[in-house]
Structure 1
Amino acid sequence: MKKLKALIVMCLATAMLVGCGSGSAGSDTYVFTSELDIKNLDSCDADDGMSFNAMHACIDGLMGLDEEGNITGAIAESYDLSDDQKTYTFHLREDANWANGTPVTADDFVYAWQRILKNNGNYAYMLGSDGAAIVGVDEILTKMADKKELTDADFANMGVKAVDDKTLEVTITRPISYFDELMTFPCYYPINQEFCEEKGDQYAKTAENVLSNGAYVMKTWEPGKQATFEKNDKYWNADAVKTQKLVMNIIPDLQTAATSFENGETDFAPINSQLVDKYKNEDYYVSFNEGYLFYLEINEKNTDLANNKIKQALSLAIDREDFVTNVLKDGSKAAKGFVPRELSVSPTGTDFRDDAGDYDVTSYNLEKAQQLFAEGLKELGKTSINVRLTYGTDESPMDQMAEYLQNAFSKLDGLNIEMVATTKQDRIYTKMANGDFDIACTRWGPDYGDPTTYLNLLLDGNSNNYGKYYSEEYEAVMEKVSTEEDAATRWQYMIDAEKIAMTDLPNIPVFEKGTSALENQNVKGLVHRPVGVPYTFHYVEKAE
């Protein structure tokens, strides 16, 4: 499948502007601001964009990105692909070392990939047929699901092995056209076994417990506030790294972040819709596709919400165009399906959204919504239902989405909404993980440029299927997706799968997130991709 070109967020130096964010830190320091915190830098556990940014700053995988955002070799200097396109032989760079001077070896990848399975990591499934389709992994995942003990023989049969220190062989069950792109994702990063086991359960939880093999070395990390990185002189591509210091500031309040930018204290600051009108005409204002799909996850264990007419009514009651145009105003777009636009293209070069089409259930039709809701209530034998709407207040613009939905749903006679405001961490890892929700406002950023990065979320047993959706029909079609080798046929299967999902509506898509930000015009080289790791800092350069 053709890879989408990355959006390159860069502004060439022109004249110094008031509020351009040149900062007192000087030309050798780049200051990046985020409203979301870093969870940790453990590829076995981290599953959020900010953690991925931090990991990518100091850890290289087999493949990486060049200055234009294209996939290129990183720790792997090159690779050979067998005629049947099922065996990759990666040749690792001789000059690739960890920051402690230890060479990066093929065993570092073998250890990391086995570790994420042994620990049942958040992205363990990505090593199986839902991701890289590595030989033997599905069998391991099945044993894990059945709570059977894994043995050395299970891992001996896994299709990843160190031929020698600098040669890694990976065998997969089917050809995957985007396999090289997968290898840029953090769950495939290497881990130095000796360092990891020495640190134990504190591995990657603090700055001193992170071992770098990438562009920067993490020096300090104060959760919720700031992380700092310094250039790694032992990095194999150190000549390409122009900035000596990278600072990530966590500022949940975006007005405060904007003020910090105007004061010259930061070089990149995201802003929300309340600030767009203030800054949209400034030269340092930028807007681009962020890649996230924001949607409602339905708890299928709630018998009221399991009613399809109730779910259709909820979807039709949302005026998505009004929300993105008049509330967000940041370049976001109304969602027309569960797979967003600009994610992937077909073998013939067309966008998935164009081929799959727009679903009527994503249009706004309050009259039809009320009709379907009334019919749903009648089927349930009720005159009204009570529903909790759970959202995180620290994951902008989730609060705006929740407030808008509360108003939209309040127009449905017979629906009583209780708002449950919490934090992102509590929303996901406590309430959603334990099934303690009715409807949750959530989001997903694509891990790689293929529709399955979204479609896999609805599979039985997927760790992100918090709503416990299950459909035999959906499972059967997705099984075909996972085994079909003909690209055109596979593409149609994915269209069929999304149609089932948009009919059943276990997840109700709301909008595709755009980002508005303030960016120092004296900075160039920040690479942004709406797929995988959001930002690459390796090539950032700041004018004097």
Structure 2
Amino acid sequence: MKKLFSLLLAVLMLLAVLMLSACLVGCVQSGNTPGNNSETTPGGDPGTTPGEPAGGVAQELTVCTGPDPETIDPALNSSVDGAIMLSNAFSGLYQWHTNEDGTQTIIADCAQEVVKPTQLDDGTYQYVITLKEGLKWSDGTELKASDFTYSWNRAVDPNTLSDYQYIFDVIAGYSDTTPELAIEADDAARTITIVTSALCPYFDQLMAFPTYFPVRKDIVEANPDDWTFSADTYVSNGAFKMAEWTVGDKIVFVRNENYWNAANVKLDKLTFALSSDDDAIFANFENGTYQYTTTVPISQIPVLKNDPNRMNVDFFIGDYSGTYFLQFNVEQSFKPGIGNVSDDPAAWTDWTPAQNAEVRHALGLLIDRNYIVDSITQGGQLPAYGFVPAGMDDGTGTEFRAKAEKWWSVDPADKEANVAEALDILKKYYTFDEATGTFTDFPVFEYSVNPTSGNIAMCAAIQDMWDDYGITVSVDQRDWAVIQTALSNGDFTMSRLGWIADYIDPITFLEIYVAASGNNHPRLGKDGAVGSAAVYGNGSQTWNEAYEQLITTIKTSSDMQARADAMYQAEKALMDTYAVIPIYYYTNPYLAKTNVKDFLYSPLGFVYFRTAYIEG
């Protein structure tokens, strides 16, 4: 079965044409040595002052987190690599912090303190957050409370086209069409008043999330399309400010002397090398050109894991709260005998969205997830049997996956049973040649993938698994930024994707499939068009009406058990469409030189270098 994959993987390993993995945002693991990279707070100087080398070493760090980002506008970014850059250039009201025992928590950033909400008479909750005194933008101008409220209103404005518009829906007055957020700035008092519709268990994490970062109105509105591309206009408020962006080569940041905690920023220069070739990235790490990388070629992972001089020395496999999955454009029909999948109305004649979902289910059953994690990724990933990843609490003290349904078995002993179930489904609709064991009229469809070592190997393996049964997949290989645009436009049939938690709560994996979400790439419930899950229904409601009712319950309920019950129902509603086919739950292999100290890895996968330094 794995003949095609085996050949391709051998070629990949021999030629090392291996490129960077990219996914959409979030996850967990701190620093260089687990438990040894707590963030420096004021007064916690590691032995050097800005501009002075530690032990004679220049405080300049070069990292590689991916190629040119699609955007580094806080309102528009939706990728981890872009978020890492944003998290070093901007500061939110709150920030992630690593405690001495290695645990992570939220502390104040631009705010004076992390505040508790007050319940109002109407059952809503009010937060009054006061900014620190003397906050400034990187160009030295005053940073005001109204800069935050302007930025949030801009992000929810439908004209901004933010993929993350929906992440403000915990704030009263949110609407995806006519939002009027219940937020108010008092610049004289330096306060921001926020009213939420219900008690939000992850509110503090949102205040540290990049979409909630401030941008400056005069800068953005003077050059709305291009302000992020030039150091002259990329005005920020974080530990570093942009000095240079050479497309295809590097983005250089330097220490921001106007950052509120500049006295504890040790690095003078932070360079993001831009590359999607993970073989070249690895070579540059090995020769010392790069000191930190978020990608490791899959051919190197077993070598590094088994080398005691590398594993947990400069190579790490961190926890990562995310899911790698395949997603289908539900507008594309898999009707038998049409040659190629199609969204043409004729392709839906005598063929229903429910039948399409059954076919996607069967395709998922034919994938051997244990083979993928054991023989391809090899980084401790777990085979996936639902969309929300393992390790997340449902808010009641119960691990979500322990209670949630399983949509197929990942027990290796059940592999043949999964295949038998898949074939039973497909034989209802497609012609099966018993002599060859293949289907003869299954339509050809495209598999869109950004070219990385892991993605290419995964694509080849899955192609092989389906090809054994006469299911032909053509590969649509495009760069990561191009793939992101294509997904947003619905320009795909099936694509790989990774989703990493935006905050530590299962709803971060479920809310992305509301109709208004820019991250709802399968187009579930969008437009009510033929093939859309909007037409599945439950008799009295369309699919998206029922789904969004569940999401609303989750977002507005202060009863944690009722909220958890709605999350289980929402995942079932999503998975029953089989528009998403989870493959595995992420881990995070990364490389960090031993002399790079005190960087912080947040529970969302964002790496902060605001307190990092190079040890001499």
- Same fold per superposition (TM over 0.5): yes
How far apart in 1 are the matches of 2:517 and 2:494?
18
Q: Evaluate the alpha carbon distance shift between residue 100 and residue 428 of structure 1 in structure 2; reply closer, same or farther with a 3 A threshold.
A: closer
Q: Evaluate the alpha carbon distance shift between residue 447 and residue 37 of structure 1 in structure 2; reply closer, same or farther with a 3 A threshold.
A: same
The aligned residue for residue 164 of structure 1 is 187
The aligned residue for residue 273 of structure 1 is 298
1:317-340 deviations in Å (ceiling 9; x for gaps): 111111011111123221121111
1:470-493 deviations in Å (ceiling 9; x for gaps): 314433322322322211110111
The aligned residue for residue 355 of structure 1 is 403
3-state SS of 1:170 partner: strand
Shift of residue 80, structure 1, vs aligned partner:
4.8
Structure with higher Rg: it is 2
Instruction: Extract unaligned runs of 5+ from structure 2.
Output: 1-25, 38-52, 336-352, 433-438, 525-532, 534-542
1:322 and 2:361 are equivalent in the alignment? no
Q: Evaluate the alpha carbon distance shift between residue 268 and residue 192 of structure 1 in structure 2; reply closer, same or farther with a 3 A threshold.
A: same
Alignment of 1:173-184 (within 5 A): 173-184=197-208
1:392 and 2:449 are equivalent in the alignment? yes
The aligned residue for residue 539 of structure 1 is 611
The aligned residue for residue 18 of structure 1 is none
More displaced 10-residue stretch of structure 1: 357-366 or 160-169: 357-366
Shift of residue 222, structure 1, vs aligned partner:
1.6
The aligned residue for residue 501 of structure 2 is 446
Shift of residue 125, structure 1, vs aligned partner:
2.6
The aligned residue for residue 488 of structure 2 is 433
Q: Evaluate the alpha carbon distance shift between residue 124 and residue 327 of structure 1 in structure 2; reply closer, same or farther with a 3 A threshold.
A: closer
How far apart in 1 are the matches of 2:85 and 2:316?
22
3-state SS of 2:445 partner: strand
3-state SS of 1:204 partner: helix
1:452-487 deviations in Å (ceiling 9; x for gaps): 211112222322222222314433322322322211
Shift of residue 8, structure 1, vs aligned partner:
0.9
1:31 and 2:62 are equivalent in the alignment? yes
Q: Evaluate the alpha carbon distance shift between residue 5 and residue 510 of structure 1 in structure 2; reply closer, same or farther with a 3 A threshold.
A: closer
The aligned residue for residue 420 of structure 2 is 367
Alignment of 1:129-528 (within 5 A): 129=169, 133-138=170-175, 141-143=176-178, 155=180, 158-165=181-188, 166-269=190-293, 270-280=295-305, 281=307, 282=310, 283-304=313-334, 306=353, 307-342=356-391, 344-360=392-408, 364=415, 365-377=418-430, 384-395=441-452, 397-413=454-470, 415-430=471-486, 432-469=487-524, 470=533, 471=543, 472-528=545-601
How far apart in 1 are the matches of 2:149 and 2:453?
37
Mapped contact 2:285–2:292 kept (Cα < 8 A): yes
How far apart in 2 are the matches of 1:5 and 1:434?
27
1:332-382 deviations in Å (ceiling 9; x for gaps): 22112111123x313332322222153326664222222222224379xx9
How far apart in 2 are the matches of 1:505 and 1:120?
30
Q: Evaluate the alpha carbon distance shift between residue 475 and residue 136 of structure 1 in structure 2; reply closer, same or farther with a 3 A threshold.
A: closer
Give the partner amino acid of 1:371. Answer: D
3-state SS of 2:301 partner: helix
3-state SS of 2:397 partner: coil
Mapped contact 2:60–2:267 kept (Cα < 8 A): yes
1:9 and 2:26 are equivalent in the alignment? no
How far apart in 1 are the matches of 2:357 and 2:395?
34
Instruction: Extract unaligned runs of 5+ from structure 1.
Output: 14-21, 144-153
Give the partner amino acid of 1:445. Answer: I
The aligned residue for residue 73 of structure 1 is 108
Q: Evaluate the alpha carbon distance shift between residue 250 and residue 424 of structure 1 in structure 2; reply closer, same or farther with a 3 A threshold.
A: same
How far apart in 1 are the matches of 2:243 and 2:27?
32
1:131-173 deviations in Å (ceiling 9; x for gaps): xx212122xx234xxxxxxxxxx64xx3011123411111111
How far apart in 1 are the matches of 2:143 and 2:421?
60
Mapped contact 2:383–2:584 kept (Cα < 8 A): yes
How far apart in 1 are the matches of 2:235 and 2:448?
35
Shift of residue 410, structure 1, vs aligned partner:
1.0
Give the partner amino acid of 1:115. Answer: R
Shift of residue 433, structure 1, vs aligned partner:
3.1
Identity level (%): 24
More displaced 10-residue stretch of structure 1: 220-229 or 317-326: 220-229
Mapped contact 2:386–2:406 kept (Cα < 8 A): yes
Q: Evaluate the alpha carbon distance shift between residue 350 and residue 242 of structure 1 in structure 2; reply closer, same or farther with a 3 A threshold.
A: farther
Mapped contact 1:162–1:168 kept (Cα < 8 A): yes
Shift of residue 520, structure 1, vs aligned partner:
0.6
How far apart in 2 are the matches of 1:60 and 1:359?
40
Mapped contact 2:155–2:165 kept (Cα < 8 A): no
Mapped contact 2:163–2:517 kept (Cα < 8 A): no
How far apart in 2 are the matches of 1:331 and 1:248?
27
How far apart in 2 are the matches of 1:235 and 1:159?
28
Mapped contact 1:36–1:250 kept (Cα < 8 A): yes
How far apart in 2 are the matches of 1:167 and 1:43?
21
Shift of residue 99, structure 1, vs aligned partner:
1.4
Mapped contact 2:27–2:603 kept (Cα < 8 A): no
TM-score, length-scaled by structure 2: 0.77
More displaced 10-residue stretch of structure 1: 369-378 or 493-502: 369-378
1:89 and 2:161 are equivalent in the alignment? no
Give the partner amino acid of 1:86. Answer: Y
Alignment: residue pair count? 509
Mapped contact 1:389–1:441 kept (Cα < 8 A): no
Q: 1:110 aligns with which of 138, 146, 149?
A: 149
Give the partner amino acid of 1:218. Answer: M
How far apart in 2 are the matches of 1:41 and 1:75?
20
Give the partner amino acid of 1:516. Answer: P
How far apart in 2 are the matches of 1:168 and 1:475?
29
1:301-329 deviations in Å (ceiling 9; x for gaps): 12327423211211111111110111111
Mapped contact 2:131–2:145 kept (Cα < 8 A): yes
How far apart in 2 are the matches of 1:128 and 1:33?
30
